[in-house]
Structure 1
Amino acid sequence: MKIRVLLPYTTFWTVIVLTTDIWNYIDGSCNASVRFERDVAFDGVVPMPAWYYINSFPNLSFASCTLACFQSVSVCSGYLFSSQQLSCKLLRTFLTHIDRNGSYIGGDWEYRSRAAEILSLNKPVTASSNYKDYETYASHKLIYLVDGITNAPGKFHTYFEPYPWVTIDLEKISIIRDVVMFNRADDYGRWLHSVEIRVGNSSVWSEMATCGTYPGPSETGDIITVECRPSRYGRYVTLKIVHPNYITDDPNAINGNNAIVLEEVVVNGLYL
C-alpha cells in the first residue's frame, strides 16, 4: 500500500500514526517516492561507531522516525528503531552483512533501509583496454558490461595486461551500497581475482576511496557481491585487478598479465 504525506510550507506537521507495515512508502509533495524495506535478517543489535549515524532521537514513534529519515538534510540511507525504547537512529550508510550480524551492544532494534536502485544500467564505460581492439573478430564491447544481459555470447573483456581496470560513469553523484560482478559463464572463470573496487567524484584511481575487495579466485559463472563498508559517495565506480596473475599454466598470463572478463556489473545504491 502507498500513502501520500503532504509537505506543506508551514512550520507544523500533522502526522497520522499508522501501522508499521503501511509505512513502507512515503510520497512527498514533490512527487518523489521513497521506499523503506525491513531487513528481517538484522539481529537486533546496533553498531556503536558514531560515523554510522546522522542523528539519534529519543521518545520518537515509528512513523515519526520514518518521516525524520525522509526529511533528513543529509542523505539518510535508512534507520534503526526500538519499539521498547521508542528510540530512532538515522543512518548515513547502508548496513552491510557484517554490520547487520556483528557483536555490538544493543537490544530490540529493527533495521529499515532505503530501497536501492540499479545505478549502472546502460551508463558510459571506459577501460584500460578493449579486447576487440586487438582481436577484431571478438564479439566483446564495453557496453556489454552494463547492458542488463548476462550469459550472452558477447561480454566485456579487457586485453591481457598487468593491472586491467574498468570504470562506470554513473553520471550523477550517488551513494553506493554494493557492486555485483557476474563472472563469465562460458569458461576461464578463474581469471577473476584480486579485484579492488573504488568510488569517487573523480575517475583518477588515487583520488578514489575503496568500497571493498574480492580476493578470489572466482569460478566460471559465479555471482559476486561486494558491499561497500561504509557506503561510498561518488559518480565513478572503478574495478581493478591489483595483483599479478597467479595462473602459471596459461601463456596469456605470462609476466603476471591479467584480464577482466565479465558478463555484467550491477552497481546498487541511491542517486543524491
Structure 2
Amino acid sequence: MLDYSKVVHNILSFPMSCSSGSVVTLTECASIASGSKSARFFFNKNEHLCYWSCVFLSNGTCTMLCISPWSAYEVKWKKNSALRKPTIGSSVHEGNYRNWDPHFATDGFVQNGGTQIFHSTFEHYPWIWIDLLETLSISFIRIYNRRDGGGQRFHDVAVEVTNNSVYVQRGFYKGPAVTGEIVDILCDYPAIARYVRLRITEGSGNSLNIPELEIYTT
C-alpha cells in the first residue's frame, strides 16, 4: 500500500466528482485510495466515509471536504524537484518562445491566461522533458491545467522516465481533463530517474498546454 500522510488542505484546490464509500477505518480508506492510484484522498472520522479519485479544480470555493471532521491525506513526498529545472518541448506554438516557452512549466507560477505557459504546436505526440539534475525517486506528477479554456487538450498523457536514452512508462492519465483541473499522475514503483517526459500518446492534432507542473520526489 502507498504511504500517505495527513495534510492541511489548500482551499485553492478544491475536490469534486469523487468516488466514495463507507469504511471502518482510516487504513481501509488509504488502501482503497492506493488501489485506485489516487495521490490524495479524504476521510470522515465521524461518519466513516472515504472519498478518493477526485477531480480537483484550481479555483472556486471550499467544499465540505475542507473542514472538520474531514481530513485530507496525500502520498508522502519531500519536495517539488521540477521547480526551475531545465526543460525542453517537442515544439513551441508559432515559434513564440516569449509566450509559450517550455520553461514556463517549471517557473513556479500558475498563470490564469493562455500566455506565459508551455504551449506546443498541434502535432501527433507533443511532449515536454524535464532534467531533475540528479537521480531521484519520483512519487507523483502534479499538472495545473490551463484555466482559460481548452482543458480537454490534456489527455492520454504518459509519464516516461529514463537515466539514459531508453524511456520507461511509469504513469498514465487517460482524461480528458477539464479547464482549471489539477491533475495528479501517480507513478508506478520504482520510478527512479533523472529525466522525466510527459507525452500525449493518442490522437492527432494534439497540443500540450501546461501552465505549471510539479514533480514530487521522496
Return the match for 1:265 from 203, 213, 217.
Answer: 213
Counterpart of 1:28 in structure 2 is none
* AA of the residue aligned to 1:125: T
* AA of the residue aligned to 2:159: I
Uncovered stretches (5+) of structure 1, i.e. residues with no partner: 1-35, 47-94, 102-112, 245-255
Q: Is the 1:116–1:177 contact (alpha carbons within 8 Å) kept by the matching residues of 2? A: no
Q: Is the 1:37–1:115 contact (alpha carbons within 8 Å) kept by the matching residues of 2? A: no
- Tell me the TM-score normalized by structure 1: 0.53
Verify: 1:43 aligned to 2:28, yes or no. yes
Counterpart of 2:78 in structure 1 is 116
Verify: 1:143 aligned to 2:103, yes or no. yes
Return the match for 2:188 from 220, 229, 240.
Answer: 229
Q: Is the 2:77–2:139 contact (alpha carbons within 8 Å) kept by the matching residues of 1? A: no
1: CA distance between counterparts of 2:154 and 2:174? Answer: 9
The CA deviation at 1:187 is 1.0
Counterpart of 1:216 in structure 2 is 175
**Structure 2 CA distance for partners of 1:44 and 1:257, relative to 1, 3 Å:** closer
The CA deviation at 1:97 is 5.7
Return the match for 1:130 from 92, 98, 103.
Answer: 92
Number of aligned residue pairs: 163
Same amino acid, percent of matched pairs: 26
Larger RCO, structures 1/2 (Cα 8 Å, 6+ apart): 2
Q: Is the 2:143–2:212 contact (alpha carbons within 8 Å) kept by the matching residues of 1? A: yes
1: CA distance between counterparts of 2:154 and 2:169? Answer: 18
**Structure 2 CA distance for partners of 1:37 and 1:162, relative to 1, 3 Å:** closer
Counterpart of 1:177 in structure 2 is 139
Counterpart of 1:158 in structure 2 is 120
Counterpart of 2:149 in structure 1 is 187
Kindly report the root-mean-square deviation, in angstroms, between the aligned alpha carbons of the 2 structures.
Answer: 3.1
Q: Is the 2:4–2:30 contact (alpha carbons within 8 Å) kept by the matching residues of 1? A: no
- Write 1 or 2 for the structure with the bigger share of strand: 2
Verify: 1:239 aligned to 2:198, yes or no. yes
Matches for 1:21-40 after TM superposition, within 5 Å: 38=5
SS in structure 2 at match of 1:193: coil
2: CA distance between counterparts of 1:45 and 1:155? Answer: 34
Counterpart of 1:69 in structure 2 is none
Uncovered stretches (5+) of structure 2, i.e. residues with no partner: 8-25, 42-74
The CA deviation at 1:44 is 8.7
* AA of the residue aligned to 1:43: E
Q: Which has the larger radius of gyration?
A: 1
CA deviations on 1:66-97 (whole Å, 9 max, x unpaired) are: xxxxxxxxxxxxxxxxxxxxxxxxxxxxx946
